[in-house]
Amino acid sequence: MSTAHDATLPDARARFRMERKPRALRLIAEGEWTTREAARLSTALKHIDLGDAASAEIDGTQLERIDSAGAWLLVRTKREWEQQGKTVGPITLAPLYDALLHAVEHEHTAPPVTIHNRHTIRAFVERLGRATVHGLYQGMGIMGYLGRVTVEATEAVYHPRGNLRFAALIHQVEETGINALPIVGLLAFLIGIVLAYQGADQLKRFGAEIFTINLLGVGLLREIAGLITAIIIAGRSGSAFTAQIGTMRVNEEIDAMQTIGINIVDALVLPRVIGLAIALPFLTFYADIMGLIGGAVMCYFDLAITPEVFLRQLQEAISLNTFLVGMIKAPVFAMIIGLVGCYEGLQVERNAASVGRLTTRSVVESVFLVIVLDAAFSIIFSIVGI
Amino acid sequence: MSAPAKPQPHEVVIKVRQLVNAFGSQVLHDHLDLDVYRGEVLGVVGGSGTGKSVLMRSIIGLNEIKSGTIEVFGRNTDHLSEAQWREIEQRWGVLFQEGALFSSQTIAENIQVPLREYLHMPQDLMNEIASMKLSLVGLPENAAAKHPSELSGGMKKRAGLARALALDPEIVFLDEPTAGLDPISANMFDQLIKDLQRSLNLTVFMVTHDLDTLRATTDRIAVLVDKHVVVGTIDELRKNPHPWIQEYFSGPRGRAAA
């Protein structure tokens, strides 16, 4: 090893050389010992062969300059040699650097930091476990919260002490319902077109294209219109609930309300949940109609089915129950979206980052729950035989 | 990197000439001149909205200036290529008001970001250096593995300072380093800045409102008044007849800090 003995790194900006006397050793540092040079110096210093020297000295007086990383390397070398049983004299530096050397040598005794690798299998299993436990707590939290809201809501209905805020309620109906009309309408219309087109394409092969209308009627009214509306509203209003309440949390507005004695559930949660529960069924109905119009338009252009024929066939295809099955789910979806949105908003901690994180979580959770509930409804309806 | 062994008296490291900053019709700096000398602690004070932070952000290139020149280490920052900017950025460190730590990383990883970005350094040496920086700014060992959200305001500032010092810069910019700290923490932070400035031979550019900090740490103070700066030591400024400066240094708080 070329660095093991005397002159080391002769041409570099930072260098050192070793002077050897019998049983004694002298490290002379030269040049600029800076952070930039630290990596090279560090390796070279670790390869110094101490031989049989019993004592050593570290001389930095000839350094042109040194910074804290350079000073650390000198201090580290000294400590390593001492650990190997050598007697090491004090590090000598130009007086200008006394304060630096003192700070690094006497105020720093901590071991190196450890950086955890987050990409090991162990870390993955740990994350999985944490996420599972967190999920369970989350579920418990939502259940407890659902109970609280139910109690408060019942109380608001049975013992109205003027705590249901009608102005806020109406505002929420407008915000979540009326303002959502354009997007819900447009998307339902487009879904109707797509469904009619695909249905017609397949059914044409059997000469049964008239049944496209049955597919549209049953599919839209029972399932798709309600589901699409709920998913749009989860993305649009559920996220807004979390962001609004979360921001109030960050600004300590919620704390302020509590100290004034305002009931958070009354003031913030109930208007939103009830408002959404009023708005979503109307939106679903609106989506039903828009979807059917989209389908009728497609049937007219693609299959040359006139609106009169469309309506007659539709009347045969669907019953009142088909429509009601779709509608009855809407308030339930609304409750879920509203409750999850408000719950996650109240979970926000007092930093801006958690608003974003919980808003994302609120949307994912409410969409997930909406679809799970929809499946549950399907099972229940098939058992009941509707 | 630290200063050369023999600092020349009054070597100018930051030179601001004829700086104009304006937002819309509101002019913040009107042909402002300022010199910062190597190895000094310069405090920048001024009323709210006089553009203290804007001045700092102009120097470090975060704010586009309307006209004027800014020279850092003798080079006009307006004419720098990308590579030259990166070179200069290694020679200064910035402590933002709330620390501006990267929230997805631990404190140790935060301190290593500049090292990783600019130098090819083995991980074990980076770990040693991060630990040493933590000691320098007076943070306990166990802070290394924590995330910024787990630290108090004062600790975040210390961690932010450790990151600013990661490359051993020549200049450190501090934006209200003691704002939001309790008086004891603020005193400790003042002492820390003074100690580090002495041991690392730093040039410190500090925006602050804190009169105690000014008295404890600064060599000179730049007061932003009437869209210009008035520079001097505290004692010189006390004699300045300008009403705002009089009010600032000789008002009840100013006298208490003296």
Both A140 and A60 in a single domain? no
Give, in order, the Cα–Cα distances in Å from A293 to each of A22, A191, A214, B130.
101, 10, 14, 66
Q: Does A62 touch chain B (CB under 8 A)?
A: no
> Which band of pLDDT confidence, cut at 50, 70 and 90, is reported for residue B2?
very low
DSSP 8-state assignment for residue B7: P
- In whole numbers, what is the pLDDT of chain A averaged over residues? 88
Q: What is the total residue count of chain B?
A: 258
Please answer yes or no on whether A113 and B103 come within 8 Å at the CB atom. Answer: no
Both A220 and A369 in a single domain? yes
pLDDT of A22 reads 81
pLDDT of A378 reads 92
Instruction: Locate all alpha helices (DSSP H) within chain B, ordered by sequence.
Output: 52-59, 82-89, 107-118, 123-136, 153-164, 183-200, 211-217, 234-238, 243-250, 252-257
Q: Does A130 touch chain B (CB under 8 A)?
A: no
Please answer yes or no on whether A68 and B108 come within 8 Å at the CB atom. Answer: no
Please answer yes or no on whether A115 and B127 come within 8 Å at the CB atom. Answer: yes
Nearest chain B residue to A97 by CA distance is B199
DSSP 8-state assignment for residue B251: S
Both A175 and A266 in a single domain? yes
Please answer yes or no on whether B134 and A113 come within 8 Å at the CB atom. Answer: yes
- Domain holding A48: CATH number? 3.30.750.24
Q: Does B104 touch chain A (CB under 8 A)?
A: no
Could you tell me if residue A3 is inside a domain? no
What are the pLDDT digits (tens) for A297-317?
Answer: 999 998 889 999 999 999 999
Both A88 and A183 in a single domain? no
Please answer yes or no on whether A114 and B145 come within 8 Å at the CB atom. Answer: yes
Dihedral of the alpha carbons of A184, A186, A190, A195, in degrees to the nearest 10:
30
Crossing angle between the packed helical segments B183-200 and B153-164, to the nearest 10 degrees? 10
Q: Which domains does chain B have, with CATH numbers?
A: 12-91+169-257 (3.40.50.300)
Could you tell me if residue A155 is inside a domain? yes
Could you tell me if residue A357 is inside a domain? yes
Cα A99 to Cα A96: distance, rounded to the nearest angstrom? 7
Both A90 and A141 in a single domain? no
pLDDT of A266 reads 84
ipTM: 0.79
Residue identified by tokens 């049989």 is A52
Could you tell me if residue A151 is inside a domain? yes
Q: Does A112 touch chain B (CB under 8 A)?
A: yes
Task: Say which of B4, B109, B166 has its CB closest to residue A115.
Answer: B109
Please answer yes or no on whether A43 and B106 come within 8 Å at the CB atom. Answer: no
Across A69-73, A231-235, B30-34, B131-135, which has the greatest mean pLDDT? A231-235
Flag whether the pTM goes above 0.90.
no
Question: Nearest-CA neighbor of A242 among A137, A95, A340, A158?
Answer: A340
Q: Which of A55-59, A297-301, A343-347 has the lowest mean pLDDT?
A: A55-59
Q: How many domains does chain A have?
A: 3
Q: Does B258 touch chain A (CB under 8 A)?
A: no
pLDDT of B256 reads 66
Please answer yes or no on whether B112 and A115 come within 8 Å at the CB atom. Answer: yes
What are the pLDDT digits (tens) for B76-116?
Answer: 888 888 888 888 888 899 998 888 888 888 899 999 988 88
Phi, psi (deg, nearest 5) at residue A306? -75, 155
Cα B32 to Cα B26: distance, rounded to the nearest angstrom? 15
Task: Say which of B3, B131, B136 has its CB closest to residue A113.
Answer: B131
Nearest chain A residue to B140 by CA distance is A110
Both A46 and A96 in a single domain? yes
Q: Beta strands B26-37 and B12-23: pairing type?
A: antiparallel
CB contacts of A111 in chain B (<8 Å) are 131, 141
pLDDT of A345 reads 94
Judged against a pLDDT cut of 90, whether residue A279 lies above it is answered with: yes
Give, in order, the Cα–Cα distances in Å from B129 to each of A58, A124, A198, A371, B103.
20, 28, 64, 52, 21
Mean pLDDT, residues A102-121? 81
Judged against a pLDDT cut of 90, whether residue A217 lies above it is answered with: yes
Could you tell me if residue A65 is inside a domain? yes
Please answer yes or no on whether A72 and B129 come within 8 Å at the CB atom. Answer: yes
Give, in order, the Cα–Cα distances in Å from A152 to each of A156, A203, A255, A264, B23.
6, 52, 19, 10, 51
Mean pLDDT, residues A133-162? 84
Both A367 and A293 in a single domain? yes
Dihedral of the alpha carbons of A199, A203, A204, A207, in degrees to the nearest 10:
-150
pLDDT of A3 reads 39
Both A193 and A96 in a single domain? no
Could you tell me if residue A4 is inside a domain? no
Cα A70 to Cα B6: distance, rounded to the nearest angstrom? 18
Both A138 and A215 in a single domain? no
Please answer yes or no on whether B141 and A111 come within 8 Å at the CB atom. Answer: yes
Number of cross-chain residue pairs from A and B with Cβ atoms under 8 Å apart = 113
> Which band of pLDDT confidence, cut at 50, 70 and 90, is reported for residue B258?
low
Both A125 and A64 in a single domain? no
Task: Say which of B121, B149, B200 has its CB closest to residue A68.
Answer: B200
3-class SS letters over chain A: CCCCCCCECCCCCEEEEEEEECCEEEEEEEEEECHHHHHHHHHHHHCCCCCCCCEEEEECCCEEEECHHHHHHHHHHHHHHHHCCCEECCCECCHHHHHHHHHHHHCCCCCCCCCCCCCCHHHHHHHHHHHHHHHHHHHHHHHHHHHHHHHHHHHHHHCCCCCCCHHHHHHHHHHHCHHHHHHHHHHHHHHHHHHHHHHHHHHHHHCCHHHHHHHHHHHHHHHHHHHHHHHHHHHHHHHHHHHHHHHHHHCCHHHHHHHHCCCHHHHHHHHHHHHHHHHHHHHHHHHHHHHHHHHHHHHHHHHCCCHHHHHHHHHHHCCHHHHHHHHHHHHHHHHHHHHHHHHHHHHCCCCHHHHHHHHHHHHHHHHHHHHHHHHHHHHHHHHHCC
Could you tell me if residue A111 is inside a domain? no
Show which of A161, A191, A224 is a domain's final residue: A161
Nearest chain A residue to B106 by CA distance is A115
CB contacts of B123 in chain A (<8 Å) are 115
Tokens of A366: 């409410």
Please answer yes or no on whether B5 and A94 come within 8 Å at the CB atom. Answer: yes
Cα A336 to Cα A265: distance, rounded to the nearest angstrom? 15
Q: Does B129 touch chain A (CB under 8 A)?
A: yes
Question: Nearest-CA neighbor of B254 among B229, B237, B230, B232?
Answer: B237
Cα A321 to Cα B181: distance, rounded to the nearest angstrom? 66
Both A63 and A183 in a single domain? no
What are the pLDDT digits (tens) for B47-74?
Answer: 888 888 888 888 888 888 888 888 888 8
- Domain of A25, in residue numbers: 14-106
Q: Beta strands B12-23 and A24-33: pairing type?
A: unpaired
pLDDT of B27 reads 85
Alpha-carbon gap: A121 to the closest alpha carbon of chain B (Å): 20
Please answer yes or no on whether B168 and A103 come within 8 Å at the CB atom. Answer: no
pLDDT of A314 reads 92
Nearest chain B residue to A349 by CA distance is B149
Could you tell me if residue A254 is inside a domain? yes
Both A204 and A63 in a single domain? no
For chain B, the distance separating the N- and C-terminal CA atoms, rounded to the nearest angstrom, is 35
Residue in B109, B116, B129, B198 to test binding to A, most A beta-carbons within 10 Å: B129
Which of A:231-260 have CB within 8 Å of B? none
Cα A219 to Cα A317: distance, rounded to the nearest angstrom? 11
Tokens of B135: 């000691």
Q: Does B1 touch chain A (CB under 8 A)?
A: yes
Q: Does B127 touch chain A (CB under 8 A)?
A: yes
